Amino acid sequence: MANVALSWREAAVLSGVLFGFTLLLRSSGARSLKSIAPFAREVGVLAGLYALWQFAGSASLQHTEGAFARARWVVRVEQDWHLPSETRVQNLITGHPWLVEVINLYYATMHFTGLFILLLWMFLRHRDRYEFWRTTIVLLTASCLLVQLLPVAPPRLLPEFGFVDTAAEYGQSVYTALSAVGPDQLSAMPSVHVGWAVLVAIAAWTLTTSRWRWLGVGHAVATVFVVVATANHFWLDGIVATALLGFVLVLQDQAIRLHRYVSVRRAHIPVTSLDGEPATATFD
């Protein structure tokens, strides 16, 4: 599979162009053009997020020492915790070439696609909750990238444990040599794929009561299966990403509660009037 992913520089340039385009649209006298500006801005944010992801990946390649030792440590931890073996999951698909190819394609394309669909849907249908979930995506991705600066090899690079690189076997790998520009190979911990997919599921479930919200749940389940079946991630990679998402959601909730508390307090601050009598000031 040809690698069509943008480098972090290309994504950063695209983000800058979109933000510049947003400013032009805002300054336009045409109302129809101004209405496009928010969409251009948000696509610029998404491109910038992608650039940050790619940059962090390339940065981790500058210090690859210990990546394989940490991956072997993950294997030992999973064994101590009695987590299911990733190789057993792989054995479920390796005898079915068509299924392996579909799963490889899902891994390569659906992580950002699912996220983009969620953002577009929220922007068009749930604008009041869009900012909250966009901020959640940014905070989750940033926290994942900070952890990924400590490189950890994926299971597919550990054949001694029986792991198979399914994408490489079928010529569908999106990964290039470590020295080339492109998605890195040593940022397995935590799994951004899983973190984003679980976020999509939670957001869709909380924003609508339609049966279509099950698509988000299905995407999360499928993503967890796919990243393990392709040997791109350990179970622990997804567990850590989900824990980070939980932390970010709690942090956001506490920040909102604090903001509301401060707003209420400010709205009832006693102020002394010019004649010395107490007065109550309200702030809009």
For the entire predicted model, the pTM comes to 0.80
Query: What's the alpha-carbon Rg for the chain, to the nearest Å?
Result: 23
pLDDT of residue 5: 60
pLDDT of residue 37: 77
Distance CA 110, CA 51 (A): 17
Distance CA 156, CA 65 (A): 18
pLDDT of residue 183: 43
Task: Quickly tell me which residue has 């004649």 as its tokens.
Answer: 275
Tokens of 6: 């943008």
Bridge partners, 279 (sequence order): 271
pLDDT of residue 36: 75
Tokens of 176: 């290039």
Contact assessment for residue 166 and residue 41, using Cβ atoms and an 8 Å cutoff: no
pLDDT of residue 177: 43
User: SS3 of 76, please?
Assistant: helix
Distance CA 121, CA 116 (A): 8
**pLDDT, mean of each 10-residue run, the chain (284 residues):** 60 82 78 74 77 65 74 95 94 92 93 89 90 91 86 92 91 62 69 96 94 94 97 96 96 88 75 47 46
Bridge partners, 272 (sequence order): 278
Distance CA 271, CA 261 (A): 19
Contact assessment for residue 218 and residue 65, using Cβ atoms and an 8 Å cutoff: no
Contact assessment for residue 271 and residue 280, using Cβ atoms and an 8 Å cutoff: yes
Q: What angle separates helix 127-148 from helix 31-60, to the nearest 10 degrees?
A: 20
pLDDT of residue 43: 79
The enclosing H or E element of 69 equals helix 67-80
